[in-house]
Chain A
Amino acid sequence: MLKSKTFLKKTRTGGVLKIVREHYLRDDIGCGAPGCAECGGAHGGPALEPQPQDQASSLWPRPHYLLPDTNVLLHQIDVLEDPAIRNVIVLQTVLQEVRNRSAPVYKRIRDVTNNQEKHFYTFTNEHHRETYVEQEQGENANDRNDRAIRVAAKWYNEHLKKMSAENQLQVVFITNDRKNKEKAVEEGIPAFTCEEYIKSLTANPELIDRLACLSEEGNEIESGKIIFSEHLALSKLQQGIKSGVYLQGTFRASRENYLEATVWIHGDTEDNKEIIVQGLKHLNRAVHEDVVAVELLPKSQWVAPSSVVLQDEGQNEDDVEREEEREHMLKTAINEKMLKPTGRVVGIIKRNWRPYCGMLSKSDIKESRRHLFTPADKRIPRIRIETRQASALEGRRIIVAIDGWPRNSRYPNGHFVKNLGDVGEKETETEVLLLEHDVPHQPFSQAVLSFLPKMPWSITENDMKNREDLRHLCVCSVDPPGCTDIDDALHCRELKNGNLEVGVHIADVSHFIRPGNALDQESARRGTTVYLCEKRIDMVPELLSSNLCSLRCDVDRLAFSCIWEMSHNAEILKTRFTKSVINSKASLTYAEAQMRIDSATMNDDITTSLRGLNKLAKILKKGRIEKGALTLSSPEVRFHMDSETHDPIDLQTKELRETNSMVEEFMLLANISVAKKIHEEFSEHALLRKHPAPPPSNYEILVKAAKSKNLEIKTDTAKSLADSLDRAESPAFPYLNTLLRILATRCMMQAVYFCSGMDNDFHHYGLASPIYTHFTSPIRRYADIIVHRLLAVAIGADCTYPELTDKHKLADICKNLNFRHKMAQYAQRASVAFHTQLFFKSKGIVSEEAYILFVRKNAIVVLIPKYGLEGTVFFEEKDKPKPQLIYDDETPSLKVEGMEFHVFDKVKVKIMLDSSNLQHQKIRMALVEPQIPGISVPDEISNVDVNEPEEKRRKLKK
């Protein structure tokens, strides 16, 4: 039904083109207030509350809705996201403006709008008959939009009055624009600035800190002195970059020296790849990761990268002169050769600000509300924030966002976003490491959860389409203890013709996650499940990961099966793939499965199936190793957690059983089979995984190290490497082989996902397979979901969609996945490191045996097998006389005061926790044996004060 009554034309002139667009006005757009008789509730989805009670504003005590303008939305989204702010009307005009100006804010506001509890309502005012305004002669677009917003606010007030006169419901207009506010008040609309309004919310004083400080008046305390030169306009920068006057690059601040940075120039010009920027004025308010434009200085002003470590400690704003003194300090001892291209930042092309983690350094003045914030990342400058809860935030990890950096301010201005908790607390530190590694870990949004299947869930007739019923098979799963996201299960049975049928059944996650919906997008963004020591950050919501997709025993589950017919010699005779329904008969742990295989008394179906699998796996593994697959080693440890406090009490290196490799073997086989199949079907857009062969130079350390023990390691092919590693045994030194394998692991390249149409080298070096992909863990890896979809299309079990067959989109997905996997790995390591710290904190100082892994110019890197812990023993320290160090690159060895250290030497080290820097606690190691006077520390049964190892050691040395 066409409801439009008035018919208007909206003309937009751009260039010579005249575009005429129709613009229909409607009278069926609801106001969003439930129970409104006039609109008749003509709106679905989230709506406003009929009686907004809880927002007790001292400025406007009556119940009201909020109506913010565009700038408020853009800048104060942090405040609006707070659960305390509810019942907000978002106008279409505002939403469109936000959409055009900031994509991230637009996404956030959409998430908020979709959240039922927030009661945000989007009012389509541009198409409403009574709130549409036309641009007048001489009125610019901004003014027109402001007027449209006011008209809508006015309409709302009249409309709500009609609805019920007695409860005096009104909308309050929130704007930071003074003129707009004045006009609104003139027209009888209650209007406040965001600051005024938030401050009037007496019940929620903490909201004030989340306000972004943008108001011009807020900066008056700064000395009027202008410190920085002005940033050039973007158009000028682009001109300059085109003509070569300026260079565009990514700004990377130095970790050691806050007055120095490098700019990585984009593009291929070989010569000026890296430009040094030195001094506060030349840095010109650029922040780490920003894309900036730099101007090269004349050669006479070029400098060398300084080796001075400088930390920004100033509390005062006015000590710019002192900064200059410091800058002079940098310029000492300049060697002509060391001079590097030097430049200064003339403008910012794109800010890459994100919320930063860190701690508050409280101002010296007790009553002061302005404080400096020190980010955990040393490359980020300190940020000035305004808060009244400074004393409450002291000693806590907090998140702060930068709002701007005026020319007359030494530090950027920011606002407080979130309090993470106490420093050193497990939850806080976990949160910090997730944030610092960019691991998305927020709870899943309503929009995402809405795509989950409704509980109670059962398999319907429709699900059975294109699906085989394999519930009669004796399928079981084997996983580590405590695993709730079981994504693989196996079966093996003898066929009538004497051959064996082996099936690998993988959870059918792609059945639940349909392409393109919010759930799919969120999983694609997360890319992988991140396992931390005591926490798991799921890629898909828990309902799927631990229930519907988890192949638990004795329930019907949807699966994607890969079924082979094999001879008893493990030759594959036939391979087929099918979607299926299975009913797992048992969820075993590795130990349980091993027990069943070993025990002679058990002879049930599951056990025979396991024995068959085990037999085949051994043959498969042998075949794989013959082909040159590497067995590498890394010291993996597990923490034993105290069940009450969840503190680590003991470490244990992971034990490997036959059953581990049994499961692994069949997963590899399934992955390879699937890789072949999808590449056959989609030669241009199969998602595969490759592991490039490392360049020979990577192996140098390994070869040299082995040589020092009179062993030879060949590295020309994977096969010869594997063989020579197998042979490298020393009866006197049984741990040597493991050490060599650990070293070999370090030489390897990173395995990556890629799209088959964008690359032509598919080889997987470590597994010695010509083609490989990931298929077996769709619950915890997004790559597997894509592979599932490809395979489903290949066998005709599911339909395709455009993005699946677009190799550029696929390449983008691969890029994100590779990044997320890397970050997840770092986060895992950081988590292990943190738990190691906790462990040694409770344990005190201990001395342990260790092996030298690497020898450096001024230090040795050691590995403690007992804890799988790696650490560095430094021989040079600040404020101490340098010992005599002779480094030999060939062997490699390091002579310290006459004592020579080689790779793989056994030493004894003392481990302790260094908490001198509260933000960056770390494990410190010191040499105990062999004893070198002045270097090593005496071994003692120590119950010393753990918190002050620095002090302790100094005393010992006197």
Chain B
Amino acid sequence: MAGLELLSDQGYRVDGRRAGELRKIQARMGVFAQADGSAYIEQGNTKALAVVYGPHEIRGSRSRALPDRALVNCQYSSATFSTGERKRRPHGDRKSCEMGLQLRQTFEAAILTQLHPRSQIDIYVQVLQADGGTYAACVNAATLAVLDAGIPMRDFVCACSAGFVDGTALADLSHVEEAAGGPQLALALLPASGQIALLEMDARLHEDHLEWVLEAAAQAARDVHTLLDRVVRQHVHEASIMLGD
């Protein structure tokens, strides 16, 4: 058996997308009433839930408080049923810790933390179903949740992954494409300014190709922004109707 052909001669990917196309994105804000902010996102078969509490007083040890800005605390976990094989530990493993750290870095760059000194913002993200691009889905969900909580941000943070196959950059990799073992890059972008909040890649990729892959990821992130913006407007619109009653 020959392996899967990731990109056909006609330019179609395994699931029928073209190189630069995203998977179908659906999102909803304000899914939980108790939390300050919450959101749910589906990017193809990758599904993530984000919940935000805060800003509130520092919990636990007071010494952690920062004098000039808010502390961003991120926790990532993925459901035991999120992958094909059942996972043993839903959170606390190295991968989850790393993901939490990356999310924290991303949001420290995006949230205007200096507005809330000596306080704390908690972001909890859970992946319900993983089909590639979990980091991107988490970031996008968390952005919506933070917006829902009304915490001031510089801009949306929109994330997307990109890979490189046969000389072509592919946007928004699915699990099959990730599993094929090529290089994969994750990018979190502040679309208005074009600033990069986080860029992560742990494979070997030639310097000459980096530019294309980066551009593919950035374009995809801008596309994500268009969609998220629509979701937020829709949500606000609905909320204002409710208030109007």
Interchain CB contact (< 8 A) of B9 among A19, A26, A103, A113: A113
Closest B-chain residue to A43, C-beta based? B10
- A22 & B21 in contact (Cβ 8 Å cutoff): no
Q: Does A802 make an interface contact (CB < 8 A)?
A: yes
Closest B-chain residue to A96, C-beta based? B5
- B206 & A24 in contact (Cβ 8 Å cutoff): no
- A23 & B15 in contact (Cβ 8 Å cutoff): yes
- B206 & A4 in contact (Cβ 8 Å cutoff): no
Tally of contact residues, B, Cβ under 8 A? 27
In the complex, A799 Cα to B210 Cα: how many Å? 13
In the complex, A189 Cα to B65 Cα: how many Å? 76
- A799 & B206 in contact (Cβ 8 Å cutoff): yes
A20-B24 contact, Cβ under 8 Å, with A99-B2, A124-B8, A799-B207: no
Q: Does B202 make an interface contact (CB < 8 A)?
A: no
Within 8 A of B (CB), among A872-898: none
Interchain CB contact (< 8 A) of A100 among B2, B9, B84, B207: B2
- B9 & A2 in contact (Cβ 8 Å cutoff): no
Q: Does A451 make an interface contact (CB < 8 A)?
A: no
B-chain residues with CB within 8 Å of residue A18 when the two chains form the complex = 84
Within 8 A of A (CB), among B1-18: 1-2, 5, 8-10, 12, 14-17
In the complex, A113 Cα to B9 Cα: how many Å? 10
Interchain CB contact (< 8 A) of A17 among B5, B12, B85, B206: B85
- B8 & A2 in contact (Cβ 8 Å cutoff): no
Within 8 A of B (CB), among A93-135: 96, 99-100, 103, 106, 110, 113, 122, 124, 126-127
B-chain residues with CB within 8 Å of residue A21 when the two chains form the complex = 14-15, 45, 174, 176
Tally of contact residues, A, Cβ under 8 A? 34
Q: Does B146 make an interface contact (CB < 8 A)?
A: no
A802-B204 contact, Cβ under 8 Å, with A4-B24, A21-B176, A100-B2: yes
In the complex, A921 Cα to B64 Cα: how many Å? 94
In the complex, A122 Cα to B9 Cα: how many Å? 9
Q: Does B36 make an interface contact (CB < 8 A)?
A: no
Query: Which secondary structure dominates chain A's binding surface?
Result: mixed
Which of A18, A43, A127, A800 has most chain B Cβ within 10 Å? A127
In the complex, A616 Cα to B53 Cα: how many Å? 83
Tell me the smallest distance from the CB of B81 to a CB of chain A, in Å. 11
Which of A17, A20, A25, A801 has most chain B Cβ within 10 Å? A20
Tell me the smallest distance from the CB of B46 to a CB of chain A, in Å. 10
Interchain CB contact (< 8 A) of B206 among A23, A96, A99, A801: A801
A-chain residues with CB within 8 Å of residue B90 when the two chains form the complex = none
Which of B5, B16, B167, B207 has most chain A Cβ within 10 Å? B16
In the complex, A4 Cα to B12 Cα: how many Å? 13
- A22 & B15 in contact (Cβ 8 Å cutoff): yes
Q: Does A660 make an interface contact (CB < 8 A)?
A: no
- A19 & B44 in contact (Cβ 8 Å cutoff): no
Tell me the smallest distance from the CB of B129 to a CB of chain A, in Å. 8
- A110 & B16 in contact (Cβ 8 Å cutoff): no
- A126 & B16 in contact (Cβ 8 Å cutoff): yes
Q: Does A733 make an interface contact (CB < 8 A)?
A: no
Interchain CB contact (< 8 A) of A127 among B9, B12, B131: B12
Interchain CB contact (< 8 A) of B2 among A1, A103, A516, A800: A103
Q: Does B144 make an interface contact (CB < 8 A)?
A: no
In the complex, A1 Cα to B223 Cα: how many Å? 8
Q: Does B93 make an interface contact (CB < 8 A)?
A: no
Tell me the smallest distance from the CB of A217 to a CB of chain B, in Å. 32
Which of A24, A106, A799 has most chain B Cβ within 10 Å? A24
Return the CB mask of A8-28 against B: 1 if under 8 Å, else 0: 000000000111111111100
Q: Does A92 make an interface contact (CB < 8 A)?
A: yes
- A24 & B207 in contact (Cβ 8 Å cutoff): no
B-chain residues with CB within 8 Å of residue A127 when the two chains form the complex = 12, 16
A-chain residues with CB within 8 Å of residue B16 when the two chains form the complex = 4, 23-26, 124, 126-127
Q: Does A457 make an interface contact (CB < 8 A)?
A: no
- A20 & B208 in contact (Cβ 8 Å cutoff): no
- A22 & B85 in contact (Cβ 8 Å cutoff): no
Q: Does B71 make an interface contact (CB < 8 A)?
A: no
In the complex, A484 Cα to B238 Cα: how many Å? 78
Return the CB mask of B83-96 against A: 1 if under 8 Å, else 0: 01100000000000
In the complex, A106 Cα to B21 Cα: how many Å? 27
- B15 & A24 in contact (Cβ 8 Å cutoff): yes
- A800 & B84 in contact (Cβ 8 Å cutoff): no
Interchain CB contact (< 8 A) of A99 among B5, B84, B204: B5
Tell me the smallest distance from the CB of B4 to a CB of chain A, in Å. 10
B-chain residues with CB within 8 Å of residue A802 when the two chains form the complex = 204, 206
Closest B-chain residue to A24, C-beta based? B16
B-chain residues with CB within 8 Å of residue A19 when the two chains form the complex = 84
Within 8 A of B (CB), among A602-639: none
Q: Does B23 make an interface contact (CB < 8 A)?
A: yes
- B10 & A22 in contact (Cβ 8 Å cutoff): no
Tell me the smallest distance from the CB of B20 to a CB of chain A, in Å. 9
B-chain residues with CB within 8 Å of residue A3 when the two chains form the complex = 21
In the complex, A570 Cα to B176 Cα: how many Å? 61
Tell me the smallest distance from the CB of A17 to a CB of chain B, in Å. 5
In the complex, A802 Cα to B209 Cα: how many Å? 13
Within 8 A of A (CB), among B43-87: 44-45, 84-85
Tell me the smallest distance from the CB of B216 to a CB of chain A, in Å. 15
Closest A-chain residue to B207, C-beta based? A799
In the complex, A20 Cα to B15 Cα: how many Å? 11
In the complex, A96 Cα to B45 Cα: how many Å? 24
Q: Does B218 make an interface contact (CB < 8 A)?
A: no
A-B contact pairs, 22 of them (CB 8 A): A4-B17, A4-B24, A17-B85, A19-B84, A20-B45, A20-B131, A21-B174, A22-B44, A22-B45, A23-B15, A24-B16, A24-B17, A92-B10, A122-B10, A124-B8, A124-B12, A126-B16, A516-B167, A799-B206, A799-B207, A799-B208, A801-B206
Interface residue ranges, A against B (CB under 8 Å): 1-4, 7, 17-26, 43, 45, 92, 96, 99-100, 103, 106, 110, 113, 122, 124, 126-127, 516, 799-802
Ordered nearest first, which 3 A-B pairs have the shortest CB separation? A127-B16, A24-B16, A22-B15
- Further pairs besides A22-B44, A110-B9: 18, Cβ < 8 Å: A2-B24, A4-B16, A17-B85, A19-B84, A20-B131, A21-B15, A21-B176, A23-B16, A26-B16, A92-B10, A100-B1, A103-B2, A122-B9, A126-B16, A127-B12, A127-B16, A802-B204, A802-B206
